[in-house]
């Protein structure tokens, strides 16, 4: 990773080097797994690792990438998916040569993994996590940890009951430019934060993919308030280092589901293909065809449902105000179906302001820029080089932390556990409740966690 500042920057070279060196150490060191006996990377022995959920996410990042990149520290001992056809293709794609199972319980009994990676459907995370804990596994789980407060309680109770560790793989924290922001905020570069403006946009095609599958149904992905925004609320909770206390929200579905002008059974053979802005032939993508369309007959899981099907019960625009325990206010929006993928954000503090924009024209393709304005002074630009790999380079940094450097320190507090998973998810849950009731919703009382002005780790 390279961090530098533009020629416009008044910061001294010495100041930059101190900052850059500290950040590098933070990014490649530390792990939530460090204190766990038998964790990944333990003395000489490979960690027994199993995967449940072989959709696009599971087979790539936690399947093939683990086998190819971390085979010296991790042994993939079992792969599970409830769809036998998808499982067979997944096994071939991942290339581990390990046994495959349609029953999670059978896999856990027969392969005895030390860690179970959960990349199943969002509304199934809690049952897979609890099953894994029951069989003595530590858990890594994709975001969102779960989709509602009842399931969150079950997870928290099981974590206490079985005494094992749960890591939530919040990859968004690990993108180098976001880690740099965390470092500047931790260093109090702009003092204490009073307000944050955070506005995230999703493109037409990105939203389309959500509308076309289970993400489009509220009881499956918790709406985008949870499925997508859990990333964003986690970033804010982490950047502010404080807990959310109260949420007021608006949201609406204006262009999809029953609001659409026509509908078909699914995209690939739709009579309205010529008229529809969202037409997509999934069968042209061999990987998706082999994972999904070839295996629909096993479980009826359709990846290219109509975006105008009446079952859609999520929203395409969202707006919320969130109050934090440290008295910071967040003004947040998630606007989907736009011509821009990314966000812009501003932190206003007692000693200045930091702002930045990610993605979309006219941002630079090589680096990210944070504009830092110390109170009463000229703005300066802090540049962070983009890294290769998924999610702005964050996926690779996270993987290194999980599977290669588990015992190093974690100065930026990037590792996340159930507390973080629950608190980010609860902002979305409270937004849903606020929308339904038309009033602000308190976070306290939605779980066993008491919001704190300065969050404890995990
Ligand atoms: N962090 C990120 O940036 C990121 C990116 C993409 C997806 N994700 C998350 O990863 C997870 C998987 O996403 P995806 O797009 O691969 O979904 P998917 O629907 O393509 O795949 C999920 C797979 O899990 C299987 N499954 C579901 N419940 C199961 C159960 N109880 N037992 C066994 N198998 C089960 C399904 O058959 C399917 O193959 C989701 O939770 C999603 O939110 C995170």
pTM as predicted = 0.92
List pLDDT tens digits, range 179-197: 999 999 999 999 999 999 9
**Element spanning 77, H or E:** strand 74-80
Sign of the alpha-carbon dihedral angle for 398, 399, 400, 401? positive
**423 pLDDT more than 90:** yes
| Nearest atom (ligand 1) to Cα of 87 | 39
For residue 259, the model assigns a pLDDT of 96
Instruction: In whole angstroms, give the CA distance from residue 96 to residue 89.
Output: 12
Residues 33-56: what's their mean pLDDT? 71
Give the other-Cβ count within 10 Å of 115's Cβ: 26
**393 pLDDT more than 90:** no
- From the CB of 295, is ligand 1 less than 6 Å away? no
CATH 3.40.50.720 fits 47-169, yes or no: yes
pLDDT band at 366 (very low <50, low <70, confident <90, very high): confident
What are the tokens at 152? Answer: 């969150």
- Mapped to the 3 state alphabet, what secondary structure does 353-387 carry? EEEEEECCCCCCCCEEEEEEEECCCCCEEEEEECC
Are 47-169 and 175-256+313-392+415-442 the same fold in CATH? no
| CATH classification (class only), 175-256+313-392+415-442 | alpha beta
Domain regions of the chain by residue span: 47-169, 175-256+313-392+415-442, 262-299
For residue 323, the model assigns a pLDDT of 98
List pLDDT tens digits, range 98-147: 999 999 999 999 999 999 999 999 999 999 999 999 999 999 999 999 99
- From the CB of 395, is ligand 1 less than 6 Å away? no
CA of residue 237 to ligand 1 center, whole Å:
24
**Residue 196 three-state SS:** strand
- From the CB of 391, is ligand 1 less than 6 Å away? yes
CA of residue 304 to ligand 1 center, whole Å:
16
- From the CB of 104, is ligand 1 less than 6 Å away? yes
């Amino acid at each position: 990773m390279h961090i530098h500042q533009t020629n416009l920057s008044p910061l001294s070279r010495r100041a930059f080097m101190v900052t850059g060196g500290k950040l590098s150490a933070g990014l490649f060191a530390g792990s939530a797994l460090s204190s766990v006996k038998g964790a990944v990377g333990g003395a000489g022995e490979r960690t027994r690792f199993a995967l449940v959920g072989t959709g696009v996410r599971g087979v790539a990042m936690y399947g093939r990438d683990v086998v190819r990149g971390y085979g010296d520290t991790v042994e993939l001992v079992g792969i599970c998916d409830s769809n036998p056809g998808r499982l067979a293709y997944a096994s071939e794609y991942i290339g581990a040569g390990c046994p495959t199972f349609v029953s999670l319980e059978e896999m856990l009994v027969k392969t005895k993994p030390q860690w179970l990676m959960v990349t199943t459907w969002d509304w199934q995370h809690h049952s897979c996590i609890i099953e894994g804990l029951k069989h003595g596994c530590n858990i890594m789980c994709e975001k969102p940890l779960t989709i509602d407060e009842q399931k969150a309680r079950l997870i928290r109770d099981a974590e206490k009951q079985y005494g094992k560790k749960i890591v939530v793989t919040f990859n968004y924290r690990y993108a180098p430019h976001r880690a740099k922001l965390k470092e500047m905020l931790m260093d109090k570069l702009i003092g204490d934060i009073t307000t944050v403006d955070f506005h995230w946009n999703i493109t037409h095609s990105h939203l389309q993919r959500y509308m076309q599958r289970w993400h489009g149904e509220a009881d499956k992905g918790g709406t985008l308030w949870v499925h997508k925004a859990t990333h964003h609320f986690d970033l804010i909770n982490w950047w502010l280092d404080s807990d959310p206390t109260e949420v007021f929200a608006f949201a609406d579905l204006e262009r999809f589901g029953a609001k659409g002008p026509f509908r078909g059974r699914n995209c690939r053979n739709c009579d309205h293909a010529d008229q529809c802005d969202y037409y997509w032939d999934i069968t042209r993508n061999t990987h998706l065809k082999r994972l999904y369309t070839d295996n629909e007959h096993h479980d009826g899981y359709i990846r290219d449902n109509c975006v105008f099907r009446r079952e859609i019960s999520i929203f395409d625009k969202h707006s919320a105000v969130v109050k934090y325990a440290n008295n910071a206010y967040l003004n947040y929006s998630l606007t989907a179906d736009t011509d821009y993928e990314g966000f812009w954000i501003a932190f206003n503090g007692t000693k200045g302001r930091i702002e930045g924009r990610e993605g979309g024209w006219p941002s630079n393709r090589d680096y990210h820029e944070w504009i830092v304005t110390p109170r009463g002074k000229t703005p300066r630009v802090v540049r962070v080089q983009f890294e290769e790999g998924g999610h702005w380079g964050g996926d690779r940094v996270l993987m290194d932390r999980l599977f290669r450097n588990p015992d190093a320190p974690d100065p930026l507090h990037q590792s996340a556990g159930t507390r973080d998973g629950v608190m980010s998810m609860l902002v979305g849950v409270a937004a849903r409740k606020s929308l339904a009731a038309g009033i602000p919703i308190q976070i306290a009382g939605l779980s066993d966690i008491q919001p704190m002005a300065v969050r404890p780790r995990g």
